[in-house]
Chains A and B, each alone.
Chain A
């Protein structure tokens, strides 16, 4: 199945600034997703990253706060904008629909974000 490289692995940021997280997949995949995992909680889907069009956001998440890009079938970025301490979480990207493993669901190693 696909392998995802996610960067940065962690960061400490000042409130009011923005951070862009990158995910690079080693093969073309149909779907890419962005999740948030708040401390002590499970994963919550932020949005589906659509190639060549605007991302599809889940309830409670908006494009102005979490702009997402997906310029091709192997790469996506998530920006956490105008950060506050409440944005401190682990952010994970995932991919599915790799040709060699169409049902497989691969995750990046995550970005641990701390906002101070």
Chain B
């Protein structure tokens, strides 16, 4: 059974710092992996999607890497800002036919001004 774990569970950093969020999954047979952002009381916003054949994706100050063989992904946030404060979730899709995702436990990030 696929399990997705995120470390740390919570993180508080001063504005301007670069930071790394970690995601690990137990079954390397994934189709793709996505990173999402969830603001309090809101739905989820997709940040980056990495196909299983890719090793990284970049969007602005965000960079996500994928090491499928070791069951790990990292989300790198450069020059953090208070507006980055949110919960970050990673999720893995198990196969191409169903689009079903297994979500991680989330990292709650607070960037201090």
Same complex origin of A and B: yes
Q: Is the CB of A105 within 8 A of B46?
A: yes
Residue of B nearest to A92 (CB): B43
B44, CB-defined interface residue at 8 Å? yes
Residues of A contacting B: mostly? strand
Q: Is the CB of A112 within 8 A of B104?
A: no
Q: Say which size band chain B's interface belongs to.
A: 20 to 34
Which residues from 57 to 116 on chain A have a C-beta closer than 8 Å to any C-beta of chain B? 92, 94, 96-97, 103-110, 112
With beta carbons under 8 angstroms apart, the residue of B43, B49, B51 that contacts A107 is B43
Q: Is the CB of B104 within 8 A of A42?
A: yes
Which residues from 56 to 113 on chain B have a C-beta closer than 8 Å to any C-beta of chain A? 89, 91, 98-106
Min CB distance A1 to B, Å, is: 8
Residue total for A at the interface (Cβ-Cβ under 8 A)? 26
Given A42-B105, A43-B89: A92 in contact with B44 (beta carbons within 8 A): yes
With beta carbons under 8 angstroms apart, the residue of A42, A48, A104 that contacts B103 is A42
Q: Is the CB of B100 within 8 A of A45?
A: yes
Residues of chain A within 8 A (CB-CB) of B51 are 103
Residues of chain A within 8 A (CB-CB) of B104 are 42
Given A42-B89, A42-B106, A43-B89: A107 in contact with B45 (beta carbons within 8 A): yes
Residue of A nearest to B105 (CB): A42
Q: Is the CB of B98 within 8 A of A48?
A: yes
B32, CB-defined interface residue at 8 Å? yes
In Å, the complex CA distance between A48 and B46 comes to 19
Q: Is the CB of A31 within 8 A of B43?
A: no
Given contacts A30-B99, A103-B49, 7 further A-B contacts (CB under 8 A): A31-B99, A43-B89, A45-B101, A48-B98, A103-B51, A105-B99, A108-B43
| Chain A residues in the interface with B (C-beta under 8 A) | 1, 4, 6, 30-31, 33, 35, 41-45, 48, 92, 94, 96-97, 103-110, 112
